[in-house]
Structure 1
Amino acid sequence: MTTAATEAKADAVRAALAKREGVLVAFSGGVDSSVVAALAHDALGDDAVACTAKSETLPDAELDEARRVADEIGIRHEVVEFSELDNPDFVKNDGDRCYHCRTMRLGRMYDAARDLGIETVCDGTNASDPGEGHRPGLRAVEELEVFSPLLAQDVTKEEVRAIADTYGLSVADKPAMACLSSRIPTGLEVTEERLTRVERAESLLRDWGFTQFRVRDHDGLARVEIGRDELERALDAEFARAANEHLSELGFDHVTLDLDGYRTGSVSPADEDEDDEPLVEDVFAQEYPSDD
């Protein structure tokens, strides 16, 4: 349930959006961009468009979700395509990978907006984002002058979820979903092969009923993280057998279960709100200590 203060902020976002002749919302189908899309649709009707950028780092299931949520909102939905793998700065996977990704993704949003005769591109950055660790993607948002209405009106993540709930959005409680490249440790190149096997492995976990998880790809070693509320289900001989069998079939050389459970940003400094994460060689030193 929203408070009067939260409702006032939502009204302020609608008013700010209504001043634009039209907006294109960079739309992932997550709760932040979905709330912006819903508020924009309220404020501008058919002059608001949601746009999702399809690439190798976006799981097919997330694209399907974005289409479904856009339909739920009633907003026009466009899909554009690009490939981060065309950019060597992205592929090398250093601490600025998210910056390069966001720059390309938002660049395609501006291309789509121009094609539609729209000047304003919006995103779902909220007031809780700037303080959450190493966030190079936010630098791209600032440099490209993307309009972040939630941030402008000081709408926090908690308030975003409350607004989503008032709209009855099915993603109101959806966990954060970073792109597939966040599963590859900093310093290890992002390749289509690694992205594909991670996506397929996580699809299996989803099919098996898990809701909070990651499969980290340490150069052929799959490190499976399961949310602590669900970890007990994974501490089972049958799960271990099935996970090892199916993930090996997907191309992983070794399959491990992280006993610390799921946690954001556990492989890369640019990922999921965390910084100071181990490089791939550090993780292998932990998994396979030498005899010295």
Structure 2
Amino acid sequence: MASIEEKAEAVREDLADREGVLVAFSGGVDSSVVAALARDALGDDAVACTAKSETLPEAELDDAKRVADEIGVRHEIVTFSELDDPDFVANDGDRCYHCRTMRLGKMFEAADELGIPVVCDGTNASDADGGHRPGLQAVDELDAYSPLLAHDIDKDEVRELADAYDLSVADKPSMACLSSRIPTGLEVTEQKLSRVEQAEELVRQWGFSQFRVRDHDGLARIEVGRDELDAALNEDFVAAARDRLTDLGFDHVTLDLHGYQTGSVSPESDESEGDESEEVPDAVAGNEATGDSDADEPLVEDVFASEYPTAE
């Protein structure tokens, strides 16, 4: 079996045979490693490109700019809106297919304008596990090249390479696009994306490292890493989260006592980290381990279906 160093060298040799590559670059660990390998192989003929849209948090765009500078790779930014596509807005089980098709489409347009023949993405060998991957379907259809996947580099090895390159994102948690916070079947809107982004910025400012704020049509469900649950129960944080998130337009604010779970909002969809992927089946909290088919319905549908006595 090839060592990680041998695999990395094979990627460099592979990319060096190209006349130039444009890397779909989110600033996450996968695309950052691809960009670093491409920069080694091709020098100035390697370009990192980030697609800016309503689903990309501003903090992630800032990270992408910073990491591109770390790598020393040319960085381009293109702009588009997933909300222009009614299929994306409808938020069915193939939302990530529609998103990835548009996002990669902008990459191919940018590559064509720059005279670059190859578009690469950050799909790694761990992503191709045979599960439901609508985002990967778009990669195949558009004929983007995935060098990590082609050379059998998995997620752990990606992080090894990021360490070797001394990249600041080597241990960065996966950060899926903002639309992944909205359950399948509930329309994606600019208002929802904006309030999720602002809510997560509050959680970030309080020092949490692994978290999501899920938007169940007006109910904010805050998830934090299980080792951070005690901090989330801090009275000051509870009061700040309740007040600030209510101000943002949420009707109710909750803390999920299961803790953070990747893809806990919708069944069988990708959580896409920019142009990379967590891409694990989503499920309503409580059904993740069993794959219960009852998770096919959005949680919010029944959250307030019954009347409960409350103190006045």
Give the TM-score, by structure 2 length.
Answer: 0.90
How do residues 123-138 of structure 1 correspond to structure 2 at under 5 angstroms?
Answer: 123-131=121-129, 133-138=131-136
How do residues 10-159 of structure 1 correspond to structure 2 at under 5 angstroms?
Answer: 10-131=8-129, 133-159=131-157
Aligned to 1:288: 304
- AA at the equivalent of 2:299: D
Paired with 2:238 and 2:100, the residues of 1 have a C-alpha distance of 36
Tell me if structure 2 keeps the 8 A contact 1:127–1:155: yes
**Structure 1: any 5+ residue segments left out of the alignment?**
none
More moved, 274-283 vs 156-165 = 274-283
More moved, 20-29 vs 268-277 = 268-277
Aligned to 2:281: 274
- AA at the equivalent of 1:252: F
The verdict on how the C-alpha distance between 1:276 and 1:247 changes in structure 2, with shifts beyond 3 A counting, is closer
Aligned to 1:212: 210
Give the secondary-structure state (helix, strand or coil) at the position aligned to 1:77.
strand
Give the secondary-structure state (helix, strand or coil) at the position aligned to 1:121.
strand
Tell me if structure 1 keeps the 8 A contact 2:52–2:61: yes
How do residues 174-253 of structure 1 correspond to structure 2 at under 5 angstroms?
Answer: 174-253=172-251
How do residues 159-174 of structure 1 correspond to structure 2 at under 5 angstroms?
Answer: 159-174=157-172
- AA at the equivalent of 2:193: L
Give the secondary-structure state (helix, strand or coil) at the position aligned to 1:189.
coil
| CA displacement 1:90-123 (0-9 Å, x = unmatched) | 0000000000000000000000000000010000
More moved, 274-283 vs 233-242 = 274-283
| CA displacement 1:37-86 (0-9 Å, x = unmatched) | 00000000000000000000000000000000000000000000000000
Structure 1 position 237, deviation (Å): 2.4
Give the secondary-structure state (helix, strand or coil) at the position aligned to 1:140.
helix
- AA at the equivalent of 1:62: E
Structure 1 position 279, deviation (Å): 5.3
Tell me if structure 2 keeps the 8 A contact 1:197–1:250: yes
Give the secondary-structure state (helix, strand or coil) at the position aligned to 2:226.
coil
Structure 1 position 240, deviation (Å): 1.5
Tell me if structure 2 keeps the 8 A contact 1:218–1:280: no
Tell me if structure 2 keeps the 8 A contact 1:24–1:113: yes
| CA displacement 1:267-292 (0-9 Å, x = unmatched) | 1221331245435643442x435259
Query: How many residues were matched structurally?
Result: 289
The verdict on how the C-alpha distance between 1:59 and 1:275 changes in structure 2, with shifts beyond 3 A counting, is closer
Structure 1 position 130, deviation (Å): 1.2
| CA displacement 1:164-202 (0-9 Å, x = unmatched) | 000000000001111000000000000000000000000
Give the TM-score, by structure 1 length.
Answer: 0.96
More moved, 229-238 vs 37-46 = 229-238
Paired with 2:141 and 2:134, the residues of 1 have a C-alpha distance of 11
**Structure 2: any 5+ residue segments left out of the alignment?**
272-279, 285-294
Question: Where do 4+ consecutive residues of structure 1 move more than 3 Å?
Answer: 275-284
